[in-house]
Structure 1
Amino acid sequence: MLPQKIPSRIAMSCYWKVLGILLLFLQSALSLQPRVLLVSFDGFRWDYIYKVSTPNFHYAMENGVHVKQVTNVFITKTYPNHYTLVTGLYAESHGIVANEMYDPVLNETFSLTKMNTYNPKFWEEASPIWITNQRKGHKSGAAMWPGTDVKIHGVLPTHYMPYNETVPFEDRVAKLIEWFTSEEPINFGLLYWEQPDEMGHFLGPDNPLMGPVISDIDNKLGYLISKLKAAKLWGVINVIITSDHGMSELSSERVIELDQYVDRDLYKVIDHSPAVAILPKEGKLDEVYEALANAHPNMTVYKKEQIPDRWHYKHNSKIQPILAVADNGWEIVHNKSDIFLVGNHGYDNIIPEMHPIFVAVGPAFRKNATKEAMNATDLYPLLCHLLRIDPLPNNGSFNSVKDILAEVPGAFGADTCSTVIGVFLGSLLVLVFTAVFVKHFVLAQANSMHILHTEVAQPLLQDH
């Protein structure tokens, strides 16, 4: 009897080893962490892709989802909107209300033009997504994204590049590829490029010379795609290409001069055109307001409490007592000796010229699909879903954007679910094969032992 048990033990040992390997493989598949790269081309207006040939943007659109209209937050400037994208909050809620700010509580200033932006107290009314991601045990990497070189709530991204606009786009891409492919890879990357915003200010968005600038951005997107492909990341990570705002064309004939209406000694300008934050000298609020309220037909002036609710731009101490807002295409200056921009942004966020681009491509997204509209605040809950982290309270809506995903959103995301289902079916097939193998192996061994037993016994029978 003992020899008949040996094949069964061997077979069962093989069975449990195979099962153990399959279970480890399934566990590995379940633990796959989706990866996301968020890209911002500053000032890339939604319709730039139609002004000149942009084959790389259209390649991404054909392989992903294009949202035609993204309504960003007021004011439509760089820092407020970049912080909205990574917090899902309106400017009044996350606290980065302008590129130039004065905090009367701190009695301190924040200035993009002076690069005086590193005081964490200005940023800590919110927690950006890289902090939440890292507190869940994941790793983030940021290449120049606004705010990522600030120690917010005592936390920096796992990897980051201190802001330096002279660092080439290619070097920024190289760093992100390195972080995504390292032994301890990041699952979330952020990439920022200053153009075409700078040239849009200098040339104006309608200038034919903007054509080569837009083409250069398209080439840079093509470079990014080629490097992701070379690193075998394209088609594996989810890439979102967007911007903070658009750009409007200005004219020297559309200028509003504050000096014509109010004494400059009565107030201080904190943030500049076209949404001018005005801090009156003590006791001069009403005088300044009355002087400006009906000064020009293309300028609307609000006391803080009068600011329209739809802008979500009044409930914060850094929003100044008076806000003067120019109509689209108009500029507000002290007088015509001030620097004049040919293109600008910061206008009402319902104006089409203020709206940015949005393209999403990757395993989680539908292919060759379009969506009519979304809000910039909706990106944050979408990112949290893709990264499988719980969002903090925000002003966005995941339900508003879940239709751009490849499948009905589940616990793991479409790409991970597909992987798990595939592994499960494959495991099931191997287990069936193993069971059949064990059955036939045991039967074969049993028959072999029976024949051997008969051959050994036969001579003894013949001796009788």
Structure 2
Amino acid sequence: MEAGERYASGTWEGTCWHWKQLPQKQSCLRGCPAVPPRFSWAGARVRARGRCIGLAAGNTSEMSMMYFALTFFFSGILTCHGSKSAYNAVPQLLLVSFDGFRADYLKNYKLPHLHEFIKDGVLVKHVSNAFITKTFPNHYSIVTGLYEESHGIVANKMYDAETKKKFSPPHDSDPFWWNEATPIWITNQQQENRTSAAAMWPGTDVKINNTTPHFFMKYNVSVSFVERMEKIVTWLNSSNPPVSFATLYWEEPDASGHKYGPEDTENMRKVLEQVDDHIGFLIAKLKAFGLWDNINIIITSDHGMTQCSQEKIIKLDKCIGRDNYTLVDTTPVAAILPRSNKTYVYNLLKNCSTRMKVYLKEDIPDRFHYHHNNRIQPIILVADEGWTIVQNEPIIRCDHGYDNALSSMHPFLAAHGPAFTKGYKQNTINTVDIYPMMCHILGLKPQPNNGTFSNTKCLLADQWCISLPEAIGIVIGVLMVLTTLTCLLIIMKNRVPTPRPFSRLQLQDDDDDPLIG
């Protein structure tokens, strides 16, 4: 067996193998272009989510059969896989976020446009988001692939002790807060002949490292979804240089989720139907502009939502005087900056309620990835699900921000387009995994990040992936074939020829005289 030549064109790239002694047989399964004539394949072929797998085989002798079996097991599964599809010289990707879209809304409500979108695309049922599960931190994690401690947007409200600066919506446009990371819209524009566009995604109207998207809308909550969407579609369709990456943000169902809560199914049904109508309108608009068949679309969210009540209130004023601390960020993850002795403040808070956990910064659990940033305050309070931390004021609204291990905090992810497989569903990925996947689709070299690209491989049409049960089945099958072939080979080698009866030779008339002593 020898290595085949490497072949490359605009649509196919890969290394295949062939057996020199076998006749040529050109074929490839659906998902790969035609194999060049200089490649010869024979034997079995397997289809596995977007990739062709050629298995070379021959049967010229028992030894070649055994050689094939060994090759099959150790190195016979050889891939013929597509490079980035030739559907467009520059792939286009649209990232859409519907704020506060809890994962289980998908199964609890009728959302025909979204479900149709998923049917021909992919679905991740739960996205494990970053702690804390709030809007600004998670939107920045999506576009940087970094945990909050690494990208610096550690809360919706922040305080920097060194500069004395404060961050809170709408006072969020100072680049100081955003410059610790490079979002994907900047990385995309660093490539030749590429631009990015944004419709109110958090941070896109800020000069991060002195750069904004080439096209963007200044955040204005009064601008409708339709206006935002039409701007994005126009930029995707007619800009020069072309927009290859775009983001679109919408405040619902988060705003209504805070007001009504996920348990108010009637009001949430109305809101989610409106969101679904927005998705349908977006799809129709992309089709009308001739973009639908070639564009890749990701629809996701930053966090979920949980129900709160007046009966689940933790009042700090009952535990500690306000002159002992500054409340930098509020419920359900409260950031405490002690004014007096830190240990004294910590001990008072620790005995305040059994319904919240109190951490010194250095003791925050590692799984939160919430240690290594100066903007994380010395003491952090984490309320139990559904509980609200206040100083003394009443709060009845529902909330998010809780422990990111809670399923109620998880959003979902759905995607559609030529870069994605069709009809595939996966249980979970991490929010930080979205970034390396987007970089792969766009052909970008990602910035250092906390994401794991392999977690998203099964979502992508140009990646080969196999589930654990499938892998076990293949191994068992291969072992059975090897065992059978080995037994057959041993039987054939040990087979004793059947003795033939002795026949006396008879002389013919023209034979020489026999030599008789």
Structure 2 counterpart of 1:61, one-letter code: I
1:95-141 deviation line (CA, Å, top 9, x unaligned): 000000001122100002xx100110110110001111001121000
d(CA) in 1 for partners of 2:134, 2:439: 24
CA distance in 1, matches of 2:297, 2:86: 21
Match of 2:326 among 268, 272, 281: 268
What pairs up with 1:424-463 in 2 under 5 angstroms?
Answer: none
1:364 corresponds in structure 2 to 419
Per the alignment, residue 447 of structure 2 pairs with: 392
Report which structure shows greater RCO (CA 8 Å, sep ≥6). Answer: 1
Long gaps (5+) in structure 1? 1-27, 411-464
Query: Where do residues 50-61 of structure 1 align in structure 2 (5 Å cutoff)?
Result: 50-61=107-118
Instruction: Map residues 57-456 of structure 1 onto 2, 5 A cutoff.
Output: 57-112=114-169, 115-137=170-192, 138-184=194-240, 185-208=242-265, 209-281=267-339, 283-335=340-392, 337-338=393-394, 340-408=395-463
CA distance in 1, matches of 2:347, 2:404: 26
Q: Secondary structure at the match of 1:142?
A: strand
CA deviation profile, 1:388-413 (whole Å, cap 9, x unmatched): 01000000011110111123279xxx
Q: Is the contact made by 2:88 and 2:294 (CA closer than 8 Å) also made in structure 1?
A: no
Post-superposition Cα deviations, 1:172-231, rounded to whole Å, max 9, x if no partner, equal 111111111115120011000001101100111110211101111111111111111111
What SS does the corresponding residue of 1:318 show, helix, strand or coil? Answer: coil
* Distance in 1 between residues matched to 2:333 and 2:120, nearest whole Å: 38
Relative to structure 1, is the Cα distance of residues 183 and 80 closer, same or farther in structure 2, using a 3 angstrom cutoff? closer
SS in 2 for 1:343: coil
SS in 2 for 1:176: helix
The structure 1 segments of at least 4 consecutive aligned residues displaced by more than 3 Å after TM superposition are 28-31
Name the counterpart of 1:6: none
Distance 2:295 2:464 in 1: 17
Separation of aligned partners in 1, 2:396 and 2:250 = 20
Asked if the contact 2:335–2:377 (Cα under 8 Å) also holds between the matched residues in 1, the reply is: yes
The answer for the alignment partner of 2:104 in structure 1 is 47
Could you tell me which residue of structure 2 aligns to residue 35 of structure 1?
A: 92
Tell me the CA shift for residue 52 of structure 1: 1.9
Aligned equivalents of 1:348, 1:183: Cα separation in 2: 42
Contact 2:87 2:294 in 1 (8 A): no
CA distance in 2, matches of 1:54, 1:408: 29
Paired positions, count: 378
Distance 1:29 1:127 in 2: 28
For 1:18-29, list aligned pairs within 5 A: none
In 1, distance between residues paired with 2:250 and 2:161?
A: 32
RMSD: 1.5
C-alpha distance in 2 between matches for 1:191 and 1:341 = 30
How many angstroms apart in 2 are the aligned matches of 1:181 and 1:254? 50
The alpha-carbon deviation at position 31 of structure 1 amounts to 7.4
Tell me the secondary structure at the aligned position of residue 421 of structure 2. Answer: coil
Q: Post-superposition shift, 1:343? A: 1.1
Greater alpha carbon shift after TM alignment, 87-96 vs 225-234:
225-234
Q: 1:81, CA displacement in angstroms?
A: 0.1
Deviation, structure 1 residue 254: 0.7
Q: Which has the higher helix share?
A: 1
Cα distance change on mapping 1:251 and 1:158 into 2, 3 Å: same
